């Protein structure tokens, strides 16, 4: 069965059991401080499990893009080395939100695997949670009993908390689980060792394929467990592993999910997969990583120097490095795999197909720059090795290796490989300790401790009313304390709130919570999943009171101007530059708007001006806002609404329109009632942020006015300086011309002076022992003329030996020049001489044996220079 068919069969099976199919959520997580990337199918349902949100369907099935390269679930080091852990993989899941529980989950899993996919029953093992004393949990008898009905007891295994209690992170929803493992070894091997003994033992042919999690608890920050309001089923099956089992392969990479990529690399490198362990790892690393990189870029995360962007950068570098070392790819190659990604995954994940060209560009640029770094690092290593050899040392220190790693992105295994090639060893312990030190530094810098929520009022869902109101009477549902180095901070959730939480690039609202006795500042508002969290300066003395929640209206209104202007800007850019323009990021606050978009060339002055003109004309048209809430997503798409890649949209969306023929966008932000409120739009800058991504910074309304005023003032000041000429431009032009004329006159004067000095000097040469010596103190207009004069004297007088002590713009300088033949015949060296003489002017200098100069601080020393020279040479 082909991979595609295996995926669709899974979905159809659960649809036949009344499950609703939902698309994968983006791989890059927004609005969750505890998670950078989606690491399991359950992430997008976290709020439903916690009871923060009413699930839309009681039963759901999906295939989720997951990435396990950071945090609690990090498989990066395994990937490529083994054959069944990937960085990015698809997790197939079926879900029950307070609906069915263990019985159905177990029975259906068995039915699908053994009857639909026809996997051999006698190769399957299942595990059950054995209980845990620390958590005060009993064994999962219920699950055991259901399994017993369909699986012989000798293939049911009891598992510890490590394997059979699933947790998303340090806190959050969790519960006991039952895993399904498959033994894919040959018949002979199976006869020798029982599969049961190999389950959960890192055997590459006896692997876990499916995990059925029975979500029952919430892990609190103090480590204790709290029962969830309802019981749920969360299952996750590794799609790549399933495909491998069904296709009877001994490695995930031998399936039709990866083979096209491996074949391509074989063709390109001229090497064969399956012949050498080290090259095989390289093949696997590359074909695995290209998926992770492409999918994350498609979801809007560009490689960068921090956080999620840095994780992607490191994955990409790992792939490049393996290609470089083991497949001899010295030039960018990863990006050439982009068309294969699009062809193989574009159907189920259209985002990689639609952005294929963009993804390839970004990858190629990263590769190019990393290969350059790699080159630099290699040269440095050569130098390091040479230095060590000179000192008869054979160990590259951990510190050096860490420096290479930290500043040049040089992986330890590469440094160690190169070290070995040169007969050196590497202090790996030292490296590890440097690494630890750095981790501790960054941990200390970012350490914060988030307390559990404390309930105040019953939680009946949170209402955001900020589209219609900027004030409301509200109650606090819950609050918590976040401790970090800067002191305690407080967060709270309101039952209804006019405060807009930062999202879609728009900053969070600020304002006040006011009771009869208190006024508390709200310094920011952010989302945590779907919760609206208010950051406040202090907790109210009595949190149970009713508060008047008031948004800072001025700030909100200026922010709205910028947000609407951003929509107008996006449409104008499409008109001027073309339909390839897509939003890549945006920031909207009360001061500026920043808009990143895909476009491959610098915008011309004319394009920028056209864009400005279009936006300003739309502002003057005073187009009213057309806001539609709860539009079914399909309908919104038909309206031609612009959606963002990597954004998680629900089934119902909000559509913001300013003229149906001009700007229609899916957007949760706040907007002006009609465009004239924006007043004025002005672009301040246009530049590049990454390969194929441009950034515009612009201002509107008050800021734009301020800007124009400042420009006008500047002009006025210039006018004043120039005594109010009729035509300012002409006045500046003639000023510049006058300046040029004066300069050329001055140059002429300098010349005349210098040649006068020269004529004088030519008369002062004294002959001694076959050399013509000149020692003179002079004054010259600039340093250039000193050098020029010295050279001319040398060229015009045979066997010249000249020492000039000059005052130049009030400072002492010495020049020594001598005929080349005197260097050897008289053993003279201009550099040495100048250094000796420079002592008299408290200075220093140097140069070549035939010409050297020095500058100094002591102008009065010039005569001493000459008298010292006389002593030395005459």
Write out the residues near ligand ATP by the rule CB under 6 A.
68, 75, 85-86, 89, 91, 166, 208-211, 236-238, 240-241
Could you list the beta-strand ranges (E) of 12-57: 20-21
Min. distance of Cβ 93 from ligand ATP in angstroms?
A: 9
- Residue 725 is encoded by which pair of tokens? 């000429």
The nearer residue to ligand ATP, 60 or 396, going by C-beta atoms, is 60
Min. distance of Cβ 40 from ligand ATP in angstroms?
A: 6
Min. distance of Cβ 89 from ligand ATP in angstroms?
A: 4
Q: At CA 527, angle to CA 524 and CA 530, rounded to 5?
A: 150
d(CA 124, CA 207): 10
The nearer residue to ligand ATP, 24 or 586, going by C-beta atoms, is 24
Helix, strand, or coil (residue 157): strand
CA 170 to mean position of chain CA atoms: 24
The nearer residue to ligand ATP, 89 or 129, going by C-beta atoms, is 89
Min. distance of Cβ 210 from ligand ATP in angstroms?
A: 5
Q: How many residues does the chain have?
A: 874
d(CA 499, CA 10): 42
Give the position of tokens 């955001």: 464
The nearer residue to ligand ATP, 28 or 814, going by C-beta atoms, is 28
DSSP H helical ranges for 391-451: 398-408, 412-421, 428-446
Min. distance of Cβ 510 from ligand ATP in angstroms?
A: 40
Min. distance of Cβ 91 from ligand ATP in angstroms?
A: 5
Min. distance of Cβ 84 from ligand ATP in angstroms?
A: 6
d(CA 331, CA 578): 32
Greatest Cα pair distance, the chain, in angstroms, is 119
The nearer residue to ligand ATP, 234 or 351, going by C-beta atoms, is 234
The nearer residue to ligand ATP, 240 or 366, going by C-beta atoms, is 240
Helix, strand, or coil (residue 485): coil
CB contact at 8 A, 303 and 316: yes
CB contact at 8 A, 286 and 263: no
The nearer residue to ligand ATP, 25 or 525, going by C-beta atoms, is 25
Min. distance of Cβ 202 from ligand ATP in angstroms?
A: 8
The nearer residue to ligand ATP, 43 or 559, going by C-beta atoms, is 43
The nearer residue to ligand ATP, 240 or 590, going by C-beta atoms, is 240
By beta carbon distance, the residue nearest ligand ATP is 238
Neighbours of 710 (CB within 10 A): 10
The nearer residue to ligand ATP, 42 or 802, going by C-beta atoms, is 42
The nearer residue to ligand ATP, 232 or 241, going by C-beta atoms, is 241
Element at 555 (helix H, strand E): helix 553-577
Which residue from 371, 372, 424, 368 is spatially nearest to 401, judged by alpha carbons?
424
Q: Sort residue 305 into left (φ over 0), alpha (ψ -120 to 50) or beta.
A: alpha
Min. distance of Cβ 36 from ligand ATP in angstroms?
A: 16
Min. distance of Cβ 205 from ligand ATP in angstroms?
A: 13
Question: Can you name the residues that pair with 566 across neighbouring β-strands?
Answer: none
DSSP H helical ranges for 29-126: 46-50, 102-110
Question: Can you name the residues that pair with 182 across neighbouring β-strands?
Answer: 124, 207
Q: Which long-range contacts (CB under 8 A, 24 or more apart) does 788-791 make?
A: 788/754, 789/754, 789/757, 789/758, 789/761, 789/815, 790/815, 790/817, 790/851, 791/817, 791/851
Q: How far apart are the first and last CA of the chain?
A: 100
CB contact at 8 A, 869 and 802: no
Min. distance of Cβ 110 from ligand ATP in angstroms?
A: 15
CA 662 to mean position of chain CA atoms: 32
- Residue 84 is encoded by which pair of tokens? 């069944």
The nearer residue to ligand ATP, 28 or 866, going by C-beta atoms, is 28
Min. distance of Cβ 254 from ligand ATP in angstroms?
A: 15
């Amino acid at each position: 069965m082909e991979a595609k068919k295996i995926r669709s069969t899974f979905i159809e099976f659960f649809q036949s059991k009344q499950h609703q199919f939902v698309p994968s959520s983006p791989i890059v997580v927004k609005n969750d401080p505890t998670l950078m990337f989606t690491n399991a199918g359950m992430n997008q349902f976290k709020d439903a499990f916690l009871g923060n949100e009413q699930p839309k369907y009681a039963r759901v099935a999906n295939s989720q893009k997951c990435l396990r390269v950071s945090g609690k679930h990090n498989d990066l080091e395994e990937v490529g080395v083994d054959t069944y852990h990937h960085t990015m993989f698809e997790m197939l899941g079926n879900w029950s939100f307070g609906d069915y529980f263990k019985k159905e989950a177990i029975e259906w899993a068995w039915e699908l695997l053994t009857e639909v996919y026809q996997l051999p029953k006698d190769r399957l093992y299942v595990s059950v949670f054995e209980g845990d004393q620390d958590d005060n949990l009993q064994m999962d008898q219920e699950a055991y009993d259901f399994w017993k009905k369909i699986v012989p007891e000798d293939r049911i295994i009891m598992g510890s908390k490590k394997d059979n209690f699933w947790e998303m992170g340090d806190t959050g929803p969790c519960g006991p689980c039952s895993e399904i493992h498959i033994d894919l070894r040959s018949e002979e091997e199976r006869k020798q060792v029982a599969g049961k003994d190999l389950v959960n033992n890192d055997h590459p042919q006896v692997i876990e394929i499916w995990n059925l999690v029975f979500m029952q608890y919430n892990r609190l920050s103090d480590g204790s467990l709290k029962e969830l309001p309802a019981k749920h089923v969360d299952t996750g099956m590794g799609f790549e592993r399933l495909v491998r089992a069904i296709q009877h392969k001994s490695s995930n990479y031998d399936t039709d999910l990866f083979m096209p990529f491996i074949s391509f690399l074989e063709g390109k490198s001229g090497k064969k997969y399956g012949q050498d362990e080290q090259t095989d790892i390289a093949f696997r690393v590359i074909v695995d990583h290209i998926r992770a990189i492409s999918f994350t870029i498609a979801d809007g995360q560009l490689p960068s120097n921090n956080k999620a962007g840095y994780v992607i950068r490191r994955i990409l570098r790992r792939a490049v490095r393996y290609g470089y070392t083991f497949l001899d790819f010295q030039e960018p190659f990863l990006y050439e795999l982009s068309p294969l990604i699009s062809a193989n995954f574009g159907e189920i994940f259209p985002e990689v197909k639609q952005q294929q060209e963009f993804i390839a560009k970004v990858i190629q640029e990263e590769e190019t720059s990393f290969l350059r770094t790699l080159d630099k690092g290699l040269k440095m290593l050569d130098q390091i090795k040479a230095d060590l050899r000179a000192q008869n040392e054979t160990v590259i220190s951990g510190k050096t290796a860490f420096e290479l790693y930290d500043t040049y992105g040089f992986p330890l295994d590469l440094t160690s490989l190169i070290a070995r090639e040169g007969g050196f060893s590497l202090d790996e312990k030292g490296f590890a300790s440097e690494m630890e030190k750095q981790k501790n530094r960054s941990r200390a810098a970012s350490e914060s401790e988030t307390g559990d929520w404390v309930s105040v009022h019953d939680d009946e869902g949170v209402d955001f009313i900020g589209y219609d109101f900027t004030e409301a009477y509200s109650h606090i549902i819950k609050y918590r304390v976040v401790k970090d180095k800067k002191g305690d901070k407080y967060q709270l959730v309101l039952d209804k709130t006019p405060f807009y939480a930062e999202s879609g690039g728009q900053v969070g609202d600020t304002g006040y919570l006011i009771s009869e006795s208190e006024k508390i500042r709200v310094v920011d508002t952010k989302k945590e999943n779907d919760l609206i969290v208010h950051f406040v300066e202090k907790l109210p003395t009595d949190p149970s009171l009713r508060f008047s929640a008031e948004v800072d209206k001025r700030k909100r209104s200026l922010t709205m101007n910028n947000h609407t202007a951003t929509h107008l800007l996006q449409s104008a850019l499409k008109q001027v530059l073309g339909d390839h323009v897509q939003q890549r990021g945006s920031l909207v606050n009360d001061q500026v708007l920043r808009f990143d978009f895909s476009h491959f060339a610098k915008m011309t002055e004319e394009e920028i001006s056209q864009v400005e003109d279009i936006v300003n004309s739309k502002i003057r048209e005073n187009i009213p806002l057309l806001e539609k809430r709860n539009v079914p997503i399909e309908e919104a798409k038909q309206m031609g609404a612009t959606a963002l890649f990597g954004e998680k949209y629900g089934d119902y969306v909000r559509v913001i329109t300013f003229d149906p023929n001009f700007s229609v966008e899916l957007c949760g932000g706040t907007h002006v009632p009609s465009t004239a409120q924006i007043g004025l739009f002005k672009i301040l800058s246009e530049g590049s942020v990454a390969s194929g991504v441009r950034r515009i910074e612009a201002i509107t309304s008050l800021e734009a006015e301020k800007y124009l005023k400042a420009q006008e003032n500047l002009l006025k000041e210039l006018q004043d300086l120039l005594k109010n000429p009729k035509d300012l431009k002409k006045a500046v032009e003639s000023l510049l011309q006058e300046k040029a004329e004066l300069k050329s006159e001055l140059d002429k004067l300098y010349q005349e002076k210098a040649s006068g000095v020269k004529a004088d000097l030519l008369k002062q040469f004294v002959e001694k022992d076959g050399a013509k010596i000149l020692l003179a103190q002079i004054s010259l207009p600039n340093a250039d003329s000193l050098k020029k004069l010295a050279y001319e004297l040398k060229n015009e007088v045979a066997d010249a030996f000249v020492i000039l002590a000059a005052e130049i713009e009030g400072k002492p300088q010495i020049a020594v020049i001598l005929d080349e033949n005197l260097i050897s015949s008289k053993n003279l060296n201009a550099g040495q001489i100048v250094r000796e003489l420079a002592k008299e002017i408290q200075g220093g200098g140097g140069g070549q044996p035939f010409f050297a100069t020095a500058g100094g601080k002591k102008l009065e020393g010039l005569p001493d220079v000459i008298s010292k020279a006389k002593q030395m040479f005459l």
